[in-house]
Amino acid sequence: MFHRSERLFLRPAFPEDCGAILAGIGEEAIVRNLARAPWPYTIDDARNFAALPQNPRLPHFLVTLPGIGVIGAAGMGEHDGEPEIGYWIARQHWGQGYATEATGAVLRIARTLGHRRVVAGHFIDNPASGKVLRKLGFLPLGRIAKRHSLARGGWVDSVEYALDCDAEMDPAPVARAA
């Protein structure tokens, strides 16, 4: 599955992307905010990520910027039996709206696939991720949950969010990202 947003191209990872994946994610400031990525992140971890099979109901993508290449990843997984959205953007591309745009594109795909509700979360010490989620219409569930972080080697407080996919999507957050 492939998807084009206003500035980005979302596509599956290929084995030849391993170096670009490692270059983008390979610093602790990024990996520590992800639940399932180890630290230190190695080329073998990038190979394993590129080799992950695609689930047609829960697709995941590399986020690419035409003319630049891989700048992150965004996609869906499962958390507590519900579809969950996750993402990361390489540090040199922070603050330009790419996380919001890429995650908005994944939400459009989730709606197309018939998902009625999508969850997400962020570690409590990563408020920038919460800002992205709120821009896209996610609502905090009003509770803090413990979520395991492989990179941190333990349980971390996580703010939980959900989005009703049947609600009308506001195109403004994605337009503002551009």
For 23-39, give the secondary structure using H, E and C.
HHHCCHHHHCCCCCCCC
Tens of pLDDT, residue by residue over 42-71, are: 999 999 999 999 999 999 999 999 999 999
pLDDT over threshold 50, residue 177: no
User: Is 32 within 8 Å of 39 (Cβ atoms)?
Assistant: yes
State the pLDDT confidence band at 3, using cuts at 50, 70 and 90.
very high
Burial-class residue 152 by CB neighbours within 10 Å (0-12, 13-18, 19+).
middle
pLDDT over threshold 90, residue 175: no
| Mean pLDDT, all residues of the chain | 94
Sorted by where each begins, the domain ranges of the chain are: 3-177
**Second CATH level (architecture) for the domain 3-177:** 3-Layer(aba) Sandwich (3.40)
Gap between the Cα atoms of 96 and 178, Å rounded: 8
State the pLDDT confidence band at 173, using cuts at 50, 70 and 90.
very low
Helix segments in 80-138, DSSP class H: 98-112, 127-135
* Percent of the chain topping pLDDT 70: 94
Residue 102 or residue 166, greater confidence: 102
The phi and psi torsions of 44 (rounded to 5 degrees) equal -65, -35
Gap between the Cα atoms of 34 and 38, Å rounded: 9
| pLDDT at 176 (0 to 100) | 41
How many Cβ atoms are within 10 Å of 169's Cβ, its own excluded?
15
Q: Token match 């922070």: residue?
A: 94
pLDDT over threshold 60, residue 8: yes
* Packed helices 127-135 and 98-112: angle between N→C axes, nearest 10 degrees: 50
| pLDDT at 170 (0 to 100) | 52
